[in-house]
Amino acid sequence: MNTDQGCQFTSFAWTDRLHRTGIRISMDGKGRFLDNIFIERLWRTLKYECVYLHAWETGSEAKAGIRKWMTFYNRQRPHSALGDRPPAVVYWQRDDINQPDQQVQKVA
């Protein structure tokens, strides 16, 4: 598992559990934010556009609210880097998705 060096990933409880289950730990170097720049940007956007704007009472409410936002983010929210199209639209318009000979087949 590769993580940053945040306290939740360096705590004894976390690292001990990973070691006991045989999971190898890999951590980015200190200050290596560029390693995870795209996911870090997603988390920032999620917090500012969704989490900080709501005062959910329960974990279930938060989960439902975040799920709703993620659906909006992927299916409706325009992204300037994608020509103001949502990611789902760009994904399903890819040539490799639309060419039958290159589609991934389900393995039974």
pLDDT for residue 73: 96
Q: Extract the runs of DSSP E, i.e. beta strands, from 1-108.
A: 2-3, 26-27
pLDDT for residue 13: 84
d(CA 65, CA 62): 5
Residues 47-66 have a mean pLDDT of 97
d(CA 25, CA 23): 6
pLDDT for residue 47: 96
Confidence band of 1 (pLDDT split at 50, 70, 90): low
User: What residue type is assigned to position 62 of the chain?
Assistant: A
Whether 8 shows a pLDDT value over 60: the answer reads: yes
Instruction: Identify which has the larger pLDDT, 25 or 30.
Output: 25
Instruction: Identify which has the larger pLDDT, 12 or 4.
Output: 12
Domain spans, the chain: 1-31, 45-100
CA 92, 95, 98, 104 torsion-angle sign: negative
pLDDT for residue 108: 45
Whether 99 shows a pLDDT value over 50: the answer reads: yes
